[in-house]
Amino acid sequence: MTNYLTAIDLEDAEHDLSLRIIAKAVEMATGIDGAKIFLMTVVPGIIPGIDQRYAIRGEMHGSTDYPLQKWKDEAAKELQEIADKHIPKAMQGGVVVENGTVYREIVEAAKDLNIDHIVMGAHRPSLADFLLGPNSSRVARHAGCSVTVVRA
């Protein structure tokens, strides 16, 4: 059995890149008996060293509450709706929503789920990306499995 982890960004307004990533994972899994595709997103973490109440309330005019579980539940529901529309039922392995640094959470989820192949997207790199490394390159460097990057 082969397990695929398909990481998408729910902030991708048109879901254009996300749908291409999912289609690539389905294409790769087609014909492999028992192949499962896990659909994942990461809710960004609050920057370390900043008081959560200030980060939420401050310039964003939000509340002092940090409803992380609510956000994760909403993201999981949205992921499941996307999976139901774009991944054949027999290939659905589940949805994963984590909170924190994108590349770290993807690498950790891949370990925890015994993932054989990660499929994720990448936007055109800027100069800063060449110096710091975008999430896709960090995942490729640190993952213990193969990584396919789908370009925007």
Domain interval for residue 147? 3-151
Q: DSSP string of 101-143?
A: -HHHHHHHHHHHTT-SEEEEEEPPP-HHHHHH--HHHHHHHH-
The answer, as to whether pTM is greater than 0.85, is no
CATH of the domain at 130: 3.40.50.620
pLDDT tens for each residue of the chain, 152 residues long:
799 999 999 887 567 889 999 999 999 999 999 999 999 999 876 655 455 555 554 455 444 566 888 889 999 999 999 999 999 999 999 999 999 889 999 999 999 999 999 999 887 665 555 544 578 889 999 999 999 999 87
Domains identified in the chain, total number: 1
d(CA 97, CA 86): 18
